[in-house]
Amino acid sequence: MHIIPAKDISEASAPSRFVGGADFASRHSSLERRLVRLRSWLPWVHVGMFLVFLAVLVVPVYLPESSEQATFLDDGRELANYLLWGVWFPLMFFSVVITGRSWCGFLCPMGAASELANRHGLKRQTPAWIRWPGTPILSFIIITLLGQTTGARDHPEAALEIFGGTFVMAVIVGWLWGRNKRVWCRHLCPIGLLLGVFARLGAVHLSPRKRKSGPDQLTDKTICPTYIDLPRKQAARHCIECLRCILPGHTAGLAVSFRRPGQELEAIRHHAPDVWETLFIFLGAGVALGGFLWLVLPFYNDWRQALGRWFIEQGQYWIGEPGPAWLMSVHPERREVFRWLDFFMITGTMVTVMALSALVLSMASLASAGLARWRGSGESLFQAFVQIGYSQAPVALMALMIGLATELFTPFVRLGMTTAQVNDVKAAMILFGLLWSVWLAWRILQGLGVDRGRWLALLPSAAGSSAMAAAWWLAVL
C-alpha cells in the first residue's frame, strides 16, 4: 500500500468546505451544529430500525403462503420482500454515493446492537484472524454464496437465516471483542467492505480540521468506534459517520466536507489506496455476477446433467438427495428443492465466475499499469495496478445495485411500465456505470503522471470495465 504524506496532498484533492466565502462557512457551521444535535436521537432511530428489521424478517415466516398472483400491495410476504430488496438495499446503495456510510452510522441496527453488547461484554482483545484484511472479503463471499443457495431473495425463511443470523453474529462479536468499539463494523460485516469501498465515491465526507502527517491507520486510542486515527484520516472507507467526531467551534475532530462524487477515487493516490480493496472489487462483483449467470447460461443445465450422470455412474447416489434447509433451498410446497448436485453446481459456478472476473479485471488493470509506467508514470507497477483497479468501482456498483436490489423496479411495473422499458432503465444504469469507470480510469492515470499516450494506457482498463458491463448485461437483461 502506498501512502502520500499529508503535506504532499494537492489542493485539487483537498475537501472544499470553505468554498463560497463567509456565507458558505456560516451555513456549514450551522449544518454541523444541527448534525451534532441529531446524536441524541440516534439511539431511538436504531431502536426503530431494529423493530422494522424484526417485522420485515420475522413476521413473513408466520404468514400464509402467497398466491402466484400476489403483489406487495395485497400480500404481507410480498410486502416484506419488497421492503427488504426494493427499499432497504436500493436506499443503502443510493445513499453511499451521496453521503458515504451514513447508513451504517444512522440506520443500521446490527452495528448499533453490536456496540451496545460491547459496552456490557467481555472486551477481549480482537484476535489477529479478525483483523486480517482478507476477513471481510471472505465474509462477503460466504454470505453471498449462502444467500444464493438458500434463496434469500425468494424465501422469507432464508432471509431470516441470512440477516437474522448476521445480526446474532454481530451481537456475539460485540460482546466478546473490542473495547467500546465496533469490531463487527470494522472487520467482519459482510456488507461493510462493500459500502466502504463505494463510500469513496460519496459526495459527503468527514475530514480532519487539523491534519497531522502520517499514514491512515487503525488505532485503539480514538473516540472513533471503527478505530480511525482521526487527525490522520485520509480515506472514507471505515467512517460510518456516527457524528461523534464533529466538534463545531473546535480545531480538533472532523468537519463535514463536500466534494464531487468520485473525487476521492480520482485522487486515490492521496487517499490510502489498498490492494485488499482492489481485490474485493474484482472478487465481489464477480461472485455476485455468478449468482445471476447460472440462471441464464444456456450450457448450465447440460453441465449439471453431465455431472449428475457421472456421480450416479460411480454409485454416489447421495448427490441427488436434498441437503439441509439451512444450507440450500428445500421448499417442496413452493416447487423448489435443491439437491447436493444443485448446491455444488451453483456455488461452483459462482466461484468460477468470481475467479474469471478477478483474472480479467486484474489483467486489464495490470496492462494499464504497465502502459502507464511506459508512458512516464513514476509509480511502481504494483502501486499503479492497485490505483487503476479502483476504476472498476462504478460499474460494479451499478451492477450490484441492479442485481441485489431485485425488487427496486417493481413499482415501475405497477405504474404501467413495460418489461422492455424497465430493461432500458437497467441498461442505462449499467452504461452510466461503465462510462463513469472509464472516466475514473482517465483521471487516475492523470494522477499517475501519464500525459502523452494516456488513451493508450486507458484501453485495457476500459476493456475490463466493458467486459464486466457486458457480463452483467447478459445476467440481468
What was the pLDDT predicted at 222?
92
What was the pLDDT predicted at 63?
94
- Do strands 204-208 and 254-258 pair parallel, antiparallel, or not at all (unpaired)? antiparallel
**350 inside domain:** yes
What was the pLDDT predicted at 129?
95
Does residue 249 share a domain with residue 285?
Answer: no
Does residue 367 share a domain with residue 231?
Answer: no
**138 inside domain:** yes
What was the pLDDT predicted at 8?
40
**267 inside domain:** no
Does residue 298 share a domain with residue 191?
Answer: no
Does residue 364 share a domain with residue 442?
Answer: yes
pLDDT in tens for each of the 477 residues of the chain?
A: 443 443 443 334 444 444 444 555 556 678 888 888 888 899 999 999 999 999 999 999 999 998 888 888 889 999 999 999 888 888 888 899 899 999 999 999 999 999 999 999 999 999 999 999 999 999 999 999 999 999 999 999 999 999 999 999 999 999 999 988 999 999 999 999 999 999 999 999 899 988 888 888 889 889 999 999 999 999 999 999 999 999 887 778 899 888 999 999 999 999 999 999 999 999 999 999 999 899 888 889 999 999 999 999 999 999 999 999 999 999 999 999 999 999 999 999 999 999 999 999 999 999 999 999 999 899 999 999 999 999 999 999 888 888 777 777 777 777 778 888 888 888 899 999 999 999 999 999 999 999 988 999 999 999 999 999 999 988 877
Does residue 341 share a domain with residue 224?
Answer: no
Domain count within the chain:
2
**6 inside domain:** no
Does residue 396 share a domain with residue 337?
Answer: yes
| Cα–Cα distance measured from residue 41 to residue 247, given in angstroms and rounded to the nearest whole number | 17
As given in the structure block, the three cell numbers for residue 263 are 473525487
What is the domain extent for residue 75? 17-199+204-258
Does residue 360 share a domain with residue 285?
Answer: yes
**157 inside domain:** yes
**81 inside domain:** yes
Does residue 211 share a domain with residue 280?
Answer: no
What was the pLDDT predicted at 3?
39
Between the two ends of the chain, the Cα-to-Cα distance in Å is: 38
Does residue 228 share a domain with residue 377?
Answer: no
Does residue 282 share a domain with residue 254?
Answer: no
